[in-house]
Chains A and B, each alone.
Chain A
Amino acid sequence: MTLTIQNVEEAKETIKKNNIVLFMKGTKDMPGCGFSAQVVQILNKTNVDYIDIDVLNDENFKENMKKFTNWPTFPQLYVKGEFIGGCDIVKEMFETGELLELFNTKGIDVKT
């Protein structure tokens, strides 16, 4: 589900209330950058429910999210309130099976 959010406080709430939240450029239906598109593809392959938030909607929000996560780029993937990584890390974790393992240990439904 795509959510529109424009400040870090709302982002924190969203991260707290949802299992998987992806801050990305564009939306999952229309990614605005190749790295964001790759993570969308991976999440779609693992068949989990997730929230996607477009950081390009608001320049201030985008910059504040970088500071909040302490990570200079997007996408940023959060699972159960915890920052997991950007595109390179998510890709590596998917390839090694660690991502599915993480979803399983966190009790997140992977629909197969």
Chain B
Amino acid sequence: MTMNIKDIESLIKKKIPDATVVIKDLVGDNNHFSAEIESKEFNGKTRLEQHKMVYNSLSEELKEDLHALSIKTMEKK
């Protein structure tokens, strides 16, 4: 199964509406992505909790492909 950048972005935004999402297809194979996500919902949460929020927004659709997604979360002022 392969995803595209728009799919990942819309899944994240569905759960974290204020998120600024930058997704890169790392090697151009629709299978290895990096996602930088900035959201106010991350404020005051641990990095672990922030990453869990991102995983939870994707988990249904991406269960098997998640290994190929690298995540970086940032708080929004």
A residues in contact (CB < 8 Å) with B: 33, 35, 70-74, 83-89, 92-93
In whole Å, how far is A40's beta carbon from the nearest beta carbon of chain B?
16
Interface-located stretch among B8-16, B17-25, B63-71: B63-71
Contact A92 B59, beta carbon cutoff 8 Å: no
B residues in contact (CB < 8 Å) with A: 47-48, 51-52, 55, 59, 63, 66-67, 70-72
Q: Which applies to chain B's interface (DSSP): helix, strand, loop or mixed?
A: helix
- Give the residues in chain B near A70, CB-CB below 8 Å: 52
- Give the residues in chain A near B67, CB-CB below 8 Å: 33, 35, 73-74
Contact B63 A88, beta carbon cutoff 8 Å: no
Q: Which of A33, A74, A85 makes the CB contact (< 8 A) with B51?
A: A85
- Give the residues in chain A near B48, CB-CB below 8 Å: 83-85, 89
Contact B66 A72, beta carbon cutoff 8 Å: yes
Contact A72 B55, beta carbon cutoff 8 Å: yes
Contact A85 B47, beta carbon cutoff 8 Å: yes
Q: Which of A33, A74, A84, A88 makes the CB contact (< 8 A) with B71?
A: A88
- Give the residues in chain B near A89, CB-CB below 8 Å: 47-48, 51
* Cα distance A84–B59 in the bound complex, in angstroms: 20
- Give the residues in chain A near B63, CB-CB below 8 Å: 72
* Cα distance A112–B45 in the bound complex, in angstroms: 33
**What are the 3 closest A-B residue pairs judged by CB atoms, nearest first?**
A72-B66, A88-B71, A73-B67
Contact A86 B51, beta carbon cutoff 8 Å: yes
Contact A88 B52, beta carbon cutoff 8 Å: no
Chain B residue nearest to A70 in the complex (CB): B52
- Give the residues in chain B near A73, CB-CB below 8 Å: 55, 66-67
Contact A72 B59, beta carbon cutoff 8 Å: yes
- Give the residues in chain B near A35, CB-CB below 8 Å: 67, 70
